[in-house]
Amino acid sequence: MLPPQYGDHEFQWQKTYGSVYRIKGCFGSLSYVQGNTHKRLRAAINVGFNAAAVRKYQPVFEKLAHELAEQLEAISGSTVDMLPRLGVTTLSAICDVVFGVSINDVEEELVSNYFQLTCSTAFLLPDRIRC
């Protein structure tokens, strides 16, 4: 479903703008595909983002936002690295909304590995990524 030229646009932008380039595409796909392929992918994805679907997600998002706010209130007055907290909150939302499971039901090692992989590769140059 995704185009074979994964990352081509991102890598070209890095060549043009250097290491300060930080905008990432979603696997180099929907943002850049055109024509019928774009229409097909949009139709498949839109099912989860229509008004009725998004309304169903609201309680999940509100619960997670409340939990995050409680965590931050508990440590108020100190410096906080938000990246891990927002990463876990985002992964929690995805697990719940997309897969229908709580992040607490997913093995801790899997969550930790996924988060570390995402964070460690977010800003790598293409020649540093090994598959």
Question: How confident is the model over 29-63, as pLDDT tens digits?
Answer: 566 677 888 888 888 888 888 899 999 999 999 99
129 or 120: whose pLDDT is higher? 120
Span 69-103, pLDDT tens digits: 999 999 988 888 888 888 889 888 988 998 888 88
- Is residue 127 in some structural domain? no
pTM, to two decimals:
0.57
Do residues 94 and 114 touch, judged by C-beta distance below 8 A? no
- How many whole angstroms separate alpha carbon 97 and alpha carbon 54? 10
- Is residue 28 in some structural domain? yes
- How many whole angstroms separate alpha carbon 131 and alpha carbon 129? 7
Listed ranges 26-30, 67-71, 115-119; the one with the highest mean pLDDT: 67-71
User: 60 and 115, same structural domain?
Assistant: yes
Do residues 38 and 46 touch, judged by C-beta distance below 8 A? no
List the one residue out of 50, 111, 83 whose CA is nearest residue 102.
111
User: 106 and 63, same structural domain?
Assistant: yes
**Domain carrying residue 34:** 1-49
**Which of 29, 49, 69 corresponds to the end of one domain?**
49
**Which of 13, 34, 49 corresponds to the end of one domain?**
49
User: 61 and 41, same structural domain?
Assistant: no
- Is residue 63 in some structural domain? yes
